[in-house]
Structure 1
């Protein structure tokens, strides 16, 4: 007879972790070219996709964006992640240009067609629907699937794949794991480390460069 808690000495089983799905370079390029930028909705879709790929944002974080979330002078995007944790992510020039075009031309047209006007004071929702309302995460997710289908991407690819692709491409390009962790807003480095399984070439290069017998 054991007086103490015997169960506490037993290690809990480790559940297998599925590797996240990522898009190929060709798939990303096809997806980014899909929106019809001659229309206000197409300009919005183009901004949505560029911001997903440029920032690694979750779809819920994208839905919460306001026009004021972008710092044009600093070229950064302010995101609010899980637990209301704030993080600042730099944006590349193309993402800024596409988003600026949407804000200056597409967004006002969507508001005008919906007979809506911006409030005098913010915040002003960034991604809006044809009715002039903020698009929810569910609406953005449906729009992403529509665009992905048009781009010839498998139907089971979710918007989160853009986040995975963002992380994988950064690591492949030589970014360190800590920086990627910060950009993704991961509380634990172990969460970010799953992406190292997707970048064997990067690991091979690291060994070749750093190991005394790596040549």
Structure 2
């Protein structure tokens, strides 16, 4: 039997961050997936987690665990698939480090992901967005910080992890006219900033504490703003903005909704899905096509600019082709 603990420790602490260059968020997510799996397996096998062997992580046990998180933890299929992706990555890592588990690895990789419904993305109208941007207090340091975070998250279409990872030197000094972003998959992009965005960033930089971390946005303790911290501040401002824009009360506005809003507004302004992909830092235009299912203005423009082709209907008669002759012979025989 092959002990699980040494291989799992090496995978999470060395292979992912050092060899694969995985982000801290990816490593944390994979570690939490295995924390849940190991706890489930220990209870099922009635042994201590540190005593679990690789061979005991059978496909049957993994499938039971995936069913468990959907039923007992009310996880959605997307979460289930994310957990399964972590397990498949680990077993791929094991293929040349524990050759005895090669057959087991192939069985784990054969576990299918669940198909998920692709919902329409949620986004804010321009009036709703403006109501949210106007809420933070312009006369307090925390209000200026929140105002700058909201403007930058929307203007650059940032993921919340990209926003909270920004450092002071990621902003072009002293004009604050561009921002350097290290995105998903270690993809870098440099985006120009609008005049209004530069103004609110300048307001924050003038009151930003100088004795804190080098993160661009700091919390009340002088530490880097966290993902949950930004989500909490956003929820507070959305609740207040709903007084001016009542339709916000019917929407769940997460930090990612600001990114979706940027994408939709950019698509409406440019009509070019490739520009949206470059702005958001997508690796493929296929990732950006979800916004084409949302934007009715773009669809109408495509219909208006296109006309049905005047093609006459034809028939396949008198065509000399060996394949068609063979097919015709096969039908008559």
TM-score, with structure 1 as normaliser: 0.81
* CA–CA distance in structure 2, aligned partners of residues 67 and 134 of structure 1: 11
Change (3 A) 1:175 1:96: farther
Runs of 4+ in 1 over 6 A off after TM superposition: none
Partner of 1:44: 145
Mind listing any 5+ residue stretches in structure 2 that lack a counterpart?
1-112, 243-247, 310-333
* CA–CA distance in structure 1, aligned partners of residues 135 and 274 of structure 2: 33
Mind listing any 5+ residue stretches in structure 1 that lack a counterpart?
1-11, 112-116
Output aligned runs, 1:148-187, within 5 Å: 148-152=238-242, 153-154=248-249, 156-187=252-283
State the Cα RMSD in Å.
2.2
Match of 1:64 among 165, 178, 202: 165
Deviation at 1:213, TM superposition (A): 6.2
Partner of 2:294: 198
Partner of 2:235: 145
Q: Deviations over 1:3-36 (max 9, x none)?
A: xxxxxxxxx9854311110011111010000000
| Greater displacement, 41-50 / 195-204 | 195-204
Deviation at 1:74, TM superposition (A): 7.5
Partner of 1:4: none
Bigger-Rg structure (1/2): 2
Partner of 1:128: 218
Q: Deviations over 1:147-186 (max 9, x none)?
A: 1111113362101111000000011112411111011111
Partner of 1:25: 126
> Does the CA contact (< 8 Å) of 1:174 and 1:202 recur in 2?
no
The alignment of Structure 1 onto Structure 2 pairs a total of residues equal to 191
Helix, strand or coil for the counterpart of 1:173?
helix
TM-score, with structure 2 as normaliser: 0.54
Q: Deviations over 1:53-73 (max 9, x none)?
A: 110001111000112111255
Output aligned runs, 1:100-119, within 5 Å: 100-104=202-206, 106-108=207-209, 117=211
Flag the structure with more relative contact order, 1 or 2, with Cα contacts below 8 A and sequence separation at least 6: 1
Partner of 1:91: 193
Partner of 1:207: 303
* CA–CA distance in structure 1, aligned partners of residues 274 and 227 of structure 2: 28
Q: Deviations over 1:81-115 (max 9, x none)?
A: 112221112211100110011001x213xx5xxxx
